[in-house]
Structure 1
């Protein structure tokens, strides 16, 4: 079952896509934090370290590409 907490706005945060200030809202769902811009819809996610450990142990990295 998915448990979703209510949105918490991040004071002073600027959206990397639309550059609007005070539009980023933070939610946490299944151990993954998601920041969403309520202005343009841009989303960023970050999982907790214990979630990443479980997910990453079964992955194989072929290469890392830099722009």
Structure 2
């Protein structure tokens, strides 16, 4: 399976300090960021992901391109 990755323009890798090498992709419903230069990988566990709605709002829908 070929995974679609999106590069993060202007971002600097925290490991190798190179610019424009970070790519964002989704694997098994989890967003991951990897550096194509040094293979550094960052993930964010579900419990740390902020909710998309706030308690005092009424949301009809959330647009995800």
State the TM-score, normalizing by the size of structure 1.
Answer: 0.62
- RMSD, aligned CA: 2.2
Mark the runs of 5 or more structure 2 residues left unpaired by the alignment. 48-65
Which aligned segments of 4 or more residues in structure 1 are displaced greater than 2 angstroms? none
Residues 1:26 and 1:11: Cα distance change in structure 2 (over 3 Å): same
Q: Which residue of 1 aligns with 2:9?
A: 11
Between 1 and 2, higher relative CO (CA 8 Å, sep ≥ 6) is seen in 1
Mark the runs of 5 or more structure 1 residues left unpaired by the alignment. 53-67
3-state DSSP of counterpart to 2:12: coil
3-state DSSP of counterpart to 2:19: coil
Q: Which residue of 1 aligns with 2:53?
A: none
State the TM-score, normalizing by the size of structure 2.
Answer: 0.63
- The structure that is helix-richer by fraction is 1
1:31 aligns with 2:29: yes
